[in-house]
Amino acid sequence: MSNAMADTLQGWGRRCQVTGLKVHSEAEKLIKVNAVVAVVAFLVGVIAAIGLVLTRWQAVHLLPADWYYRLMTVHGMNMLIFFILFFEMAVLYFAGPVLLNCRVPAPKVGWLAFGLMVLGAVMVDVVIFAGKADVLFTSYVPLRAHPLFYLGVILFAVGAILVTCLFFASLVVAKREQTYEGSVPLVTFGALTAAIIAAITLLHGAAIYIPTFLWSLNIIPIDPELYRVVWWGLGHSSQQINVAAMVSVWYLLGGLTVGAVVLNEKISRSAFSLYVLFISMASAHHLLVDPGLGPAWKVWNTSYAMYLAVLASMIHGFTVPAGIEMGQRLRGLVKGRFEWLRKAPWGDPGFSGMFLSLVIFGFFGGITGVTSGTEQINIIAHNTLRIPGHFHVTVVGGTALAFMAVTYYVLPLIFQRKVALWGLAKIQPYLFGVGIVIMAMSMTFAGSFGVPRRHWDITFAGAATSVEFHPMVDMLMGTMAIGGLLAAIGALAYIAIAVLSVFFGQKVDWSRVGDGGAGIPQGVAKLPKQAHTGAAVEQVHQAGTPGTMVLVGVFLTVFVLYYFVNWKMLSMVWKIG
Amino acid sequence: MHSAIVSPKGVWWKPAGKQEKLWVTIAFVWCMILFAMMPFWHFKGGQNPSGMRSRVDPKDFAARAQRFVEDYKVGDENGIPVVAPPAGSDLYLVARMWAWSPILKLKKGATYTLHLSALDVNHGFSLYPININFQVVPGYDYALTVTPNDVGEYKIICNEFCGIGHHLMVGKAIVEEGESTASAAAEVSEVNNE
């Protein structure tokens, strides 16, 4: 680690001063540009989000109807597609070439892909802001957008599929050039499953956006129900890329921050494989109360073939905290059930963001998602605020927060800059995480009162007949807005930190990095031991992870309660069938 | 043991620890319970989204709905017809930008077959305040048997984005005290015999 500047691998790249990994300069550049554009898309999405919460908060009701729906479209596309996929492209360049010590196989293709994705994203945003695509993220046919909207999405998807192919190629190159020994690391394996799901997802995307593009030019007809089925093959599966990428990031950050270990490679890898096999079936979650599909199809698909993908998430929900607990115990924090958790580095945003992401995704997101994705319970959830309430704790409190957390390690390790505004960075994951949870839980409860999602005015002023919502709803829409604004402050803080670090940040002085200090996360200052051997290890392994057993016990209890309370609520409404 | 960024060497397919095995088993059992609940509810529960589903030309659906209104119309409210069909009958509810038609007058405890379809784009059927939700897709007839279990004035909110007037799209269903369940059932068989 101390052979600082001598080891620059001239003309090829550099050796990471912390992990010892070889970093190909093309990989480094591609990670940088994709991450930067991801943050730009994120900023656009955050600004739209502020407009949305201030409009749904009826006391403020900021935007006119057309701009509300327009910014809803902007928010969906920029957050769920552009921000998250650009970031995932960076994750693929990291988990492939960097972790495997190899080169980017065809960097020119990487740059071409990046260009296509930027072009596609810009086209889509320009068309939406011009008011030519007020169709929301789902763009259900026969709502009609300008053809360039669909073409922009297609270009973006082609770029993303090229990067996915590059990732697969880097696995082949690394194997052939023997840049690593044994099997690929678990993080790379997880990224591989994300890439496979991405390939499946993007094929669905092609299967729906190309015909829809032709439909928008009046060349072919499209069946509205068929559109919904195939579109959700893209729409939901793309969220499963996020799940696999996020879980990989949890494992990565666990290792970097506290030396978390993999309890059992077989279990964790099998769980990732279950994602690949079953997770695409989740498109059914959106079609449970649709007229085009029968009960057998719905039951089989919504449960990912008997909940095997849920099983996968429940496994990771155990192995990730258990790996952290075991890592901490190996570092000597062995007292009681929870010393490992109490004495975790809560001031390191890489750790706190990762752990909050794990709790928010699993506890809030997982429980609400499985429940409202149950065929019959969906009757009392479909298209109410319960749905965005659910996915804001999976994809935002889960994936986006995990990506923020890893950013605090990417800044020093890849950009080689100290994290700017370090004091703010330390509290940023809490601001964002707590805000999102308040917002999403308010949405979930408001949705249980029947409040619709994607709705400009639930006072129904000017409508044929009035609707009086339960008085609780007013309060919940208020707390939703307060949570949303808190999360927006957290999001803007993240953007400010990222931009200031990248463009104006202090260079990391590798000879003095061990001193730590402001802007250097503790895992970068002193990387925890990544491998353990010997009898002591066996002893700790035998002692197990008693703290995590308690955590998952609490989780399961709440899960069972919430699930059956919903069946009870369902049983009280009109008989219907 | 090693972290997740280390390449494992040799064979990593090893038996799992006791606690891991226990959790995987518990999680698996829970997943099977989650799965079993759905078929179970189809047999024992009163709320299922199955319905009878068929394709329908929007023009044909509009025509059926028109006949339905002509047969059972009892009034008008702001230009939207109010219908009071007998227990057991087929109800046709039309969704279009940006109105539900007609207004339905129903009897508590009576069973009807509610046909939902849209004439233009996707709409969302959301019955307030009991919070029952169904997707309404143009070109598809979603026929659900419904049995109101309480009297009151219910609102039908559109909860699928359907264009700039989406938030104005509210319909109505009124449930009144019905005859006893027995006479309602008799009425059903009468209708069926006709």
- Report pLDDT for A2: 39
Quickly list DSSP for A23-50: EEHHHHHHHHHHHHHHHHHHHHHHHHHH
Q: What is the rounded distance in angstroms from the CA atom of residue A525 to the CA atom of residue A17?
A: 10
Residues of A within 8 A of B175 (CB-CB) are none
* Among the partner residues B38, B135, B141, nearest to A376 by beta-carbon distance: B38
The token pair that represents B114 in the structure block: 């509610």
User: Per-residue confidence at B190, pLDDT binned at 50, 70, 90?
Assistant: low
Interface test with A, best of B154, B167, B175 (most A CBs within 10 A): B167
* CATH fold of the domain at B52-182: Immunoglobulin-like (2.60.40)
User: Per-residue confidence at B187, pLDDT binned at 50, 70, 90?
Assistant: low
Q: What is the rounded distance in angstroms from the CA atom of residue A151 to the CA atom of residue A161?
A: 15
Average pLDDT, chain B: 92
Residues of B within 8 A of A374 (CB-CB) are 34, 37-38
- Report pLDDT for A124: 98
Which residues make beta-bridge pairs with A519? none
In which domain, by residue range, is A28 found? Answer: 23-573
Residues of B within 8 A of A69 (CB-CB) are 161, 164, 166
Main-chain dihedrals φ then ψ at residue A471, nearest 5 degrees = -55, -30
Domain extents in chain B: 52-182
Across the interface, whether the CB atoms of A315 and B122 are under 8 A apart is answered no
- Residues 84 through 103 of chain A touching chain B, CB cutoff 8 Å: 99
Q: Number of helices and strands (H, E) in chain A?
A: 20, 3
Task: Give tens-digit pLDDT for A5-22.
Answer: 445 677 889 999 888 899
Residues of A within 8 A of B123 (CB-CB) are none
Sign of the four-CA dihedral A446, A447, A449, A455: positive
Q: Which residues 6+ apart lie within 8 Å of A491 measured at CB?
A: A42, A46, A49, A432
Q: What is the rounded distance in angstroms from the CA atom of residue A292 to the CA atom of residue A216?
A: 23
Q: How many CA atoms lie within 13 A of A300 on its CB side?
A: 5
Task: Give tens-digit pLDDT for B51-100.
Answer: 999 999 999 999 999 999 999 999 999 899 999 999 999 999 999 999 99
What CATH number did the domain enclosing A404 receive?
Answer: 1.20.210.10
Main-chain dihedrals φ then ψ at residue A324, nearest 5 degrees = -65, -45
Q: What is the rounded distance in angstroms from the CA atom of residue A471 to the CA atom of residue A478?
A: 12
Residue ranges of chain A whose pLDDT lies below 50: 1-6
* Among the partner residues A186, A384, A541, nearest to B133 by beta-carbon distance: A384
**Residue of chain B whose Cα is closest to the Cα of A250:** B4
Mutual angle of helices A186-216 and A147-176, in 10-degree steps: 150
- Residues 388 through 447 of chain A touching chain B, CB cutoff 8 Å: none
> What ipTM was assigned to the predicted interfaces of this complex?
0.92
Which residues make beta-bridge pairs with B156? B127, B171
- Report pLDDT for A7: 54
Residue A148 covered by a domain: yes
Inter-CA distances, B61 with A552, B55, B144, Å:
51, 10, 15
Residue A321 covered by a domain: yes
- Report pLDDT for A536: 81
Look at residue B193 and tell me whether its pLDDT is greater than 60: no
Amino acid at A266: K
**CB count, 10 Å around CB of A206?**
15
